[in-house]
């Protein structure tokens, strides 16, 4: 009886999904212009974070980023003109995810920007992410003034090419072992990346030095990299995308392949449901605010960075990062450990290569199963930065936010239909 074997069929499919996930071999190999990485990125095409969204639904920071990047690319002379073009449907908006890419917060990806390239050597697929701009007034929070555009230009013309050259010289940096080290240093790769950011700069420095003849330029680059505790976030995101993409499209599998937000909607994709998005309104993060800011200033949840939780890091690995617990207002170290344990209720496996010393080297909970989310009512917990609702102001706090239950309910119903469960 076909019906009786359905759970077994799903379990087998999930097993295959987990195997593919763990077989991944993500390597940071290059930094190249986005148009080389993604040929479909022509003029007037803008990739954004999260599931599909139209201009008139975009939140303040995302609109700020759109008009800013339009100017950066030379598609508009000023912000007003950029806004007009946007409202006249002159730009083609697509999710990063549809083009093997991810981007933090507003997640703008356009043809001229340099993107990190992570190659999953086990399957040959690649994933891309722009370079992290640093803190403060930046485009990922909707910043679009001259200083923001100037920095983007510097990334495009100076740092990007230099990093690319250094990476090519190095033959690529294997990311799994680096992340494993970061977990023992208190990183969880979403809100806390200082360990891995330090490790990657250390790994790149010699080849960077060999690739940049001008000492003053090299000094500027190292200063920039050294000042950015979150530099590794974008690498971790591209890694997550590269790891999860081969897990897409396994018939009957219920493993989540992506989670993402566009400031309005939260979307998930599920292995057995190919690239279909299941969306619901984003929830508001709860957390701690920097001095001078309150919850009234917060933008709704945004960014592709939840790909990090999708592979078992971030909020899922909070037990490895007790310092983050206080930072995001999740409480004490014991509560951080409990968060990881609770995420264990909705995941199928523990990653043997990414272990947490404080939990007796238990592996991070990996492989979110939509059936377990629906059964237990426990939704994935995400460590996230909180952006100011006004474009360009920047980060105003950090907190935890949940993936909406409705996404999983919709996905489960769709899967049941697909599998012809009456």
Partner 1 sequence: MNCCVNQVRRGLFLDSVVLMQVSRTVAALPGVEDAALMMGTPANQEILENSGLLVPDGESAGGGDLIVAIRAEDETAATAAMDQAVLLLDHPAAVRAASAAVQPRTLRSALRVDPNANLALISVPGDFAAAEARKALRAGLHVMIFSDNVSLDDEIALKLEARQRELLVMGPDCGTAILGGIPLAFANHVPVGDIGIIGASGTGIQEVSCLIAQAGAGISHAIGVGGRDLSDEVGGISTLTALEWLESDPKTRHIVLLSKPPSAAVVERISAELDHSRKSFTVCFLGAEDLPLPANAVAARTLRAAAASASGFQEDTSGGTGLARPLAGERKWVRGFFSGGSLAAEAQVIFLDQGIRVTSNAPIQGAHALSEVTAGHTLLDLGDDQYTRGRPHPMIDPAVRDDPLRQALHDPTVGAVLLDIVIGYGASEDPAAHVARILGHHGNRDPVVIASVTGTEEDPQVLSRQVSILDSAGVWVRPSNAAAAEAALACIVA
Partner 2 sequence: MTRPPEDRKTAEPDQSSIGLNLLEAPIRVVNIGLQKFADDLVGQDVEVVQVDWAPPARGNTRLANLLSRLMD
Q: Which parts of this chain interact with partner 2 (CB under 8 A)? A: 3, 6-8, 10-11, 254, 371, 374-377, 405, 409, 412-413, 415-416, 419, 421
Nearer to partner 1, 195 or 344 (CB): 344
Please tell me whether residue 23 binds partner 1 under the rule CB under 8 A: no
Nearer to partner 2, 10 or 235 (CB): 10
The site partner of 412 among partner 1, partner 2, none (C-beta below 5 to 8 Å per kind) is partner 2
Nearer to partner 1, 52 or 326 (CB): 326
Q: Shortest approach of partner 1 to residue 405 CB, angstroms?
A: 9
Query: Can you tell me the distance from the alpha carbon of 138 to that of 177, in angstroms, rounded to the nearest whole number?
Result: 30
Of 218, 338, 406, 414, which lies in the binding site for partner 1, with binding defined by CB under 8 A? Answer: 338
Of 375, 413, 416, 417, which lies in the binding site for partner 1, with binding defined by CB under 8 A? Answer: 375
Q: Which residue has the tokens 């984003």?
A: 282
What three-state secondary structure class fits 254? coil
Sketch the per residue contact string, 316 through 335, with partner 1: x for CB under 8 A, - otherwise: ------------------x-
What three-state secondary structure class fits 117? strand
DSSP 332: S
Query: What is the rounded (10 degree) CA torsion for 103, 107, 110, 115?
Result: -30
Q: Shortest approach of partner 2 to residue 420 CB, angstroms?
A: 10
92-95 and 45-48 strand pairing: parallel
Q: What angle do CA 233, 234, 236 make, to 5 degrees?
A: 65
The site partner of 10 among partner 2, partner 1, none (C-beta below 5 to 8 Å per kind) is partner 2
Please tell me whether residue 3 binds partner 1 under the rule CB under 8 A: no
The site partner of 421 among partner 1, partner 2, none (C-beta below 5 to 8 Å per kind) is partner 2
Residue pair 112/99 in contact by the 8 Å Cβ criterion: no
Sketch the per residue contact string, 256 through 285, with partner 1: x for CB under 8 A, - otherwise: ------------------------------
Of 160, 287, 344, 363, which lies in the binding site for partner 1, with binding defined by CB under 8 A? Answer: 344
Nearer to partner 1, 20 or 371 (CB): 371
The site partner of 6 among partner 2, partner 1, none (C-beta below 5 to 8 Å per kind) is partner 2
Nearer to partner 2, 101 or 415 (CB): 415
Please tell me whether residue 341 binds partner 1 under the rule CB under 8 A: yes
Nearer to partner 1, 1 or 296 (CB): 1
Burial class (CB in 10 A: 0-12, 13-18, 19+), 227: exposed
The site partner of 152 among partner 2, partner 1, none (C-beta below 5 to 8 Å per kind) is none
Please tell me whether residue 345 binds partner 1 under the rule CB under 8 A: yes
* Sign of torsion over alpha carbons 183, 187, 190, 194: negative
Nearest one of 369, 312, 357, 360 to 339, comparing CA atoms = 312
Query: What is the rounded (10 degree) CA torsion for 397, 400, 403, 406?
Result: -100
Query: Can you tell me the distance from the alpha carbon of 277 to that of 287, in angstroms, rounded to the nearest whole number?
Result: 27
The site partner of 334 among partner 1, partner 2, none (C-beta below 5 to 8 Å per kind) is partner 1
Q: What angle do CA 100, 106, 107 make, to 5 degrees?
A: 25
Half-sphere exposure of 408 (CA within 13 A, CB side): 22
Q: Shortest approach of partner 1 to residue 333 CB, angstroms?
A: 11
Of 36, 376, 413, 416, which lies in the binding site for partner 1, with binding defined by CB under 8 A? Answer: 376
The token pair that represents 309 in the structure block: 């939780």
What three-state secondary structure class fits 215? helix
Nearer to partner 2, 6 or 222 (CB): 6
Please tell me whether residue 342 binds partner 1 under the rule CB under 8 A: yes
The token pair that represents 248 in the structure block: 């897409």
Nearest one of 281, 279, 262, 278 to 270, comparing CA atoms = 278
The site partner of 371 among partner 2, partner 1, none (C-beta below 5 to 8 Å per kind) is partner 2
Nearer to partner 2, 18 or 199 (CB): 18
Nearest one of 125, 204, 196 to 168, comparing CA atoms = 204
Residue 214 CB neighbour total at 10 angstroms:
11
Residues that bind partner 1 (CB under 8 A): 334, 337-338, 341-342, 344-345, 375-378
């Amino acid at each position: 009886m076909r019906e009786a074997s359905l759970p077994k069929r799903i379990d087998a499919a999930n097993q295959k999904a987990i195997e593919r996930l763990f077989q991944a071999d993500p390597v940071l190999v290059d930094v190249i212009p986005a148009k080389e990485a993604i040929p479909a990125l022509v003029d007037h095409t803008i990739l954004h974070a999260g599931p599909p969204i139209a201009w008139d639904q975009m939140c303040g920071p995302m609109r700020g980023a759109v008009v800013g990047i339009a100017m950066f690319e030379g598609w508009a002379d000023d912000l007003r003109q950029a806004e007009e073009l946007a409202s006249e449907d002159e730009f083609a908006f697509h999710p990063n995810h549809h083009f093997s890419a991810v981007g933090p917060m507003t997640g703008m990806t356009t043809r001229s920007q340099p993107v990190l390239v992570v190659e999953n050597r086990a399957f040959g697929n690649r994933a891309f992410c722009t370079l992290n701009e640093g803190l403060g007034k930046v485009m990922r929070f909707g910043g679009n003034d001259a200083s923001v555009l100037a920095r983007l230009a510097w990334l495009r013309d100076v740092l990007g090419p230099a990093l690319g050259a250094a990476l090519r010289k190095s033959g690529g940096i294997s990311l799994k072992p680096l992340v494993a080290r970061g977990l023992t240093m208190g990183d969880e790769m979403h809100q806390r990346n200082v360990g891995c950011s330090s490790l990657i700069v250390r790994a790149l420095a010699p080849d960077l030095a060999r690739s940049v003849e001008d000492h003053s330029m090299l000094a500027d680059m190292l200063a920039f990299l050294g000042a950015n505790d979150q530099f590794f976030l974008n690498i971790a995101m591209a890694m997550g995308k590269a790891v999860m993409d081969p897990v897409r499209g396994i018939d009957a599998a219920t493993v989540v392949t992506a989670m993402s937000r566009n400031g309005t909607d939260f979307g998930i994709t599920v292995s057995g449901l190919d690239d279909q998005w299941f969306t619901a309104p984003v929830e508001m993060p709860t957390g701690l605010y920097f001095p001078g800011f309150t919850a009234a200033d917060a933008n709704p949840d945004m960014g592709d960075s939840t790909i990090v939780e999708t592979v078992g890091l971030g909020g899922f690995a909070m037990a490895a990062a007790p310092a983050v617990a206080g930072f995001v207002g999740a409480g004490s170290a014991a509560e951080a450990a409990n968060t990881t344990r609770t995420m264990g209720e909705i995941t199928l496996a523990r990653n043997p290569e990414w272990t947490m010393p404080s939990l007796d080297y238990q592996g991070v909970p990996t492989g979110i199963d939509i059936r377990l989310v629906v059964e237990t009512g426990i939704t994935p917990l995400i460590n996230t930065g909180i952006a100011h609702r006004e474009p360009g102001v920047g980060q105003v706090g950090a907190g935890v936010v949940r993936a909406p239950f409705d996404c999983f309910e919709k996905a489960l119903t769709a899967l049941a239909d697909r599998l012809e469960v009456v």
